[in-house]
Structure 1
Amino acid sequence: MMTETKWRMRRYVPTMEEYMSNAVVSFALGPIVLTSLYFVEKRLLGSIVNDYEYNALFRLMSTCGRLLNDIQGFERESSEGKLDSVSLLVVHSDGSMSTGAAKEAIRRSIASCRKDLLRLVLKENSVVPRACRELFWKMCKVCHLFFSHTDEFTSPSEMVSAVNTIINEPLKQQNRNLHLSVQSDN
């Protein structure tokens, strides 16, 4: 985040490669996912954590999340003077790409990253334990939930609706079924 702040303060326009190299880290899934992996796999060896495949899983998951966030947060971030992948594609196209075309190009990149991530998750004979690979995939799916239609992260009502649909409603249904089961046993 400090790098992005310095860019903004210096009015520096990074290349797309510079931006994405930093964006994977600044999206901040590392503290959430990478530490959670140690609860999934108690003996996560240094040789696994330092392996190319482990880092590729993280990079692909974070890239998907960052690009999804960029598409949904473009207007808000532009009004704040922040650069993101959408604005960088437009700026670096020298006027030949519209915002809509940039968003479509980014959607294709997201689809490609998801495909590559899923390929690693389903890979046979992987150095990274399957449960760990699945955690990367699940977090990618969470990012899609948050950012596929709107920026739910900054839209509390959308988030509440999603939580109700995914968690609260199934629990209510389960409680109703349990209650009916107890009543029929009596």
Structure 2
Amino acid sequence: MFQLDSNFSVFQGIRHIMHQQALRAPTIYSKHIRKRCPAIHNEDLFLFSRQDFNICQAQYQKELEQLERWNEQSATAYGSEEVEILFTALYNTVNEVAAKAYIEQGRCVKHLLVSLWVEMLTSFMREMDSWSDETPPSVDEYLSFAWLSISCRSCILTSTHFLGIKLSEDMVTSPEFTNLCRHVSFVARLLNDLQTFKREEEERKLNSVILMQASHKDGGGISEEDAIREIKKMVEFNRRKLLHMVFQRNGSIVPRECKDVFWKTSKTAYYLYSSGDEFTSPQEMMEDMKSLIYKPLELHALATS
């Protein structure tokens, strides 16, 4: 990514342009000024000024080289058709959602949407990088980015802007909102891990159950059943924390309508991962949706004695 050195601002660049003009055309000074300032032709000052300018010029050349390289990479498309499709779809979706949210909220939320996607994609990268690390992360280190990669935060924060209530930026970025996101994301992530750890162990992917077992190896290790039990305790802890925050009134700035979204999301996670991985392989869920949408409701008469 192209970055400017923080020590070289635009205003400093303008100052350096003025200095180089003075260095290259010293005769513009009048003889009266030279008489008043005997150091005006001091060779040491000229050498020092030229050295300072050369340092700055080298920095500008480096930045220009980076900028030109970035521009060439952009001009040669995205590297693959798949990346171009994904980027275009994401770009258009963010702009479309931001435009609709502006109508609902009366303010621009595009920067929030972009930051949510950057945050989530960064967590994906951290998770992928951890796969190749020789030393696996601890459970806490894993959860520090895995709660973001489950994508609950981006989904919820986007949808809450369409509940028919006004949400300020301070409210959406408040610690209370973040903690609600964190607890529901922990619930979803850990429930997912409980149902997928066998498959992910074969695929050499990270999973809290696997890492829980690995973290106890120095002390003799724990069984798979004990690791599952510990993860279930963490699920229940975060579920209770979430429930407490949902019904908390004193000191709360998050509207109840938003809190209900968090609670319903946790219930959805239980539905998806109660007996399998219905997110990856939606077998029962597909049947439930077919029943909900297509099958007529059959009412059976109550048996009379």
Q: For the superposition of Structure 1 and Structure 2, which TM-score range results when normalised by the shorter chain?
A: 0.7 to 0.9
CA distance in 1 between counterparts of 2:237 and 2:288 reads 26
Provide the residue aligned with 1:105 in structure 2: 230
Counterparts of residues 4-15 of structure 1 (less than 5 Å): 4-15=127-138
What is the percentage of aligned positions where both structures have the same residue? 35
CA distance in 1 between counterparts of 2:133 and 2:241 reads 35
CA distance in 2 between counterparts of 1:141 and 1:164 reads 20
8 Å contact 2:171–2:253 — kept in the other structure? yes
| Equivalent residue in structure 2 for 1:54, among 165, 177, 188 | 177
CA distance in 2 between counterparts of 1:172 and 1:74 reads 38
Q: After superposing the two structures, state which structure 1 stretch, 55-64 or 102-111, moved more.
A: 102-111
Provide the residue aligned with 2:258 in structure 1: 132
* 1:151 corresponds to 2:277: yes
8 Å contact 2:214–2:221 — kept in the other structure? no
Provide the residue aligned with 1:172 in structure 2: 296
* 1:74 corresponds to 2:200: no
The residue identity in structure 1 corresponding to 2:276 is T
More helix by share: 1
Counterparts of residues 10-21 of structure 1 (less than 5 Å): 10-21=133-144
- CA deviation digits over 1:124-146, x for unaligned, max 9? 14200000001000001001000
- Change in 2 beyond 3 A, CA 1:84/1:160: same
Unaligned runs of 5+ in 2: 1-123, 300-305
8 Å contact 1:41–1:131 — kept in the other structure? no
RMSD over aligned CA atoms reads 1.8
Aligned partner of residue 152 in structure 1, secondary structure = coil
- CA deviation digits over 1:59-112, x for unaligned, max 9? 000000000000000011111001211011100011421111111111111111
| Equivalent residue in structure 2 for 1:141, among 267, 283, 303 | 267
CA distance in 2 between counterparts of 1:68 and 1:141 reads 11
CA distance in 2 between counterparts of 1:131 and 1:122 reads 11
Q: Which structure's CA Rg is the greater one? A: 2
| Equivalent residue in structure 2 for 1:87, among 207, 210, 216 | 210
Q: CA deviation at 1:161?
A: 2.6
* 1:26 corresponds to 2:149: yes
* 1:119 corresponds to 2:244: yes
- Change in 2 beyond 3 A, CA 1:122/1:164: farther
8 Å contact 2:150–2:189 — kept in the other structure? yes
Q: CA deviation at 1:29?
A: 1.6
